[in-house]
Amino acid sequence: MTAELSPIDKAKYAAARKSVDFVENGMKLGLGTGSTAAWMVRCLAERIRNEGLKVTGVATSSRTADLARELGVPIVGMDDVKWLDLTIDGADEFDPNLNLIKGGGAALLQEKIVATASDRMIVIADAAKEVAQLGAFPLPVEVVPFGWRTTMALIEETLYSLDVLNREVALRMDESRPLKTDEGNFILDLNLRRIGNPRQLALVLNQIPGVVENGLFIDICDIVVIGNGDGRVTVRDINSGRVEDGSVDLAQSANIFADLGE
């Protein structure tokens, strides 16, 4: 299996594999959305199967919930648990302060609700997601469908007063129609190239009528696990300042799908 994985998939697997080491018996977990998070769900399912690990999961999207149930990871609703011990999720970008851009998978609203209702958030990512300054990845903003063109115009006008390099805003499409989130909302992608003040931008965007939530995660992430294609992993804890280097056995990924009946 590892021979069939691209270097980027090996890096995602390495980060995901390391992240589930933080999971302890009896935890209530937030399970993220996206390709890296999908690896994490598979690694978590393997621990449940092989070690008898007991956890309760809250999924951040219907896609993650479907995958988790398929693999035997128990899933409940957010209101059933109210608070979580740990959330593990991916990111589209992260900066040195572990501020994030998320929402490439159109699940940013549920992801932010789950992450902020957790004692800790761990982000898993390949090394390419690390940036000196946020903004190269388009910033997703979830908006209600009613009056979305007006909301987009208000966002475009607001951007002129903010420290960004570019101000292009586009409606995210699903083939020939607007993409809809699990909540039935639309996504506007802001191609800003550089975000000078992420905290200010996040606050201002959420004041615009029609905006439900934005993809800037500020002061939410506690730990980032960075994976590399050769199996090396780096764990950074923003609270303690610790940086730990290690590695995972990439050969284990050869058995993940077979062991889980995939």
Query: Catalytic pick from 46, 111, 142, 213?
Result: 111
Range of the domain at 175: 139-214
- Confidence at residue 5, expressed as pLDDT on a 0 to 100 scale: 85
Q: What is the CATH number of the domain that holds 75?
A: 3.40.50.1360
Which residue type sits at 117? A
- Confidence at residue 2, expressed as pLDDT on a 0 to 100 scale: 46
Could you tell me which residues come within 8 angstroms of residue 20 by beta carbon, excluding any fewer than 6 positions away? 40, 43, 44, 47, 88
Residues 114, 244 within the same domain: yes
Q: Are 163 and 133 in contact (CB under 8 A)?
A: no
Count structural domains, the chain. 2
- Confidence at residue 4, expressed as pLDDT on a 0 to 100 scale: 78
- Confidence at residue 138, expressed as pLDDT on a 0 to 100 scale: 98
Coil, strand, or helix at residue 64?
Answer: helix
In 3D space, the residue among 32, 35, 56 whose CA is nearest the CA of residue 113 turns out to be: 32
Q: Structure pTM?
A: 0.94
Coil, strand, or helix at residue 32?
Answer: coil
Residues 41, 108 within the same domain: yes
For the annotated binding site for substrate, the residues are: 33-36, 89-92, 102-105, 129
Q: CA geometry: angle at 118 spanning 203 and 68, to 5°?
A: 110
Residues 72, 187 within the same domain: no
Residues 207, 226 within the same domain: no
- Confidence at residue 262, expressed as pLDDT on a 0 to 100 scale: 41
Q: What is the CATH number of the domain that holds 181?
A: 3.30.70.260
Residues 109, 49 within the same domain: yes
- Confidence at residue 1, expressed as pLDDT on a 0 to 100 scale: 44
Residues 55, 166 within the same domain: no
Cα distances (angstroms) measured from residue 158 to each of 78, 112, 138, 227, 243: 33, 23, 17, 37, 38
Alpha-carbon Rg for the chain in angstroms: 18
80/132 Cα distance (integer angstroms): 39
- Confidence at residue 255, expressed as pLDDT on a 0 to 100 scale: 60
**Domain final position from 198, 214, 230:** 214
Q: Are 190 and 137 in contact (CB under 8 A)?
A: no
Residues 186, 230 within the same domain: no
For the chain, which ranges sit under pLDDT 50? Answer: 1-2, 259-262
Burial of 181 (0-12, 13-18, 19+ CB in 10 A): buried
Does 111 qualify as catalytic in the annotation?
yes
Residues 59, 186 within the same domain: no
Residues 201, 228 within the same domain: no
Which ranges of 117-184 would DSSP assign to H, the alpha helix?
A: 148-159
Residues 20, 77 within the same domain: yes
Q: Are 90 and 125 in contact (CB under 8 A)?
A: yes
Count of other CB atoms within 10 angstroms of residue 175: 5
Residues 59, 112 within the same domain: yes
Residues 7, 125 within the same domain: yes
- Confidence at residue 253, expressed as pLDDT on a 0 to 100 scale: 64
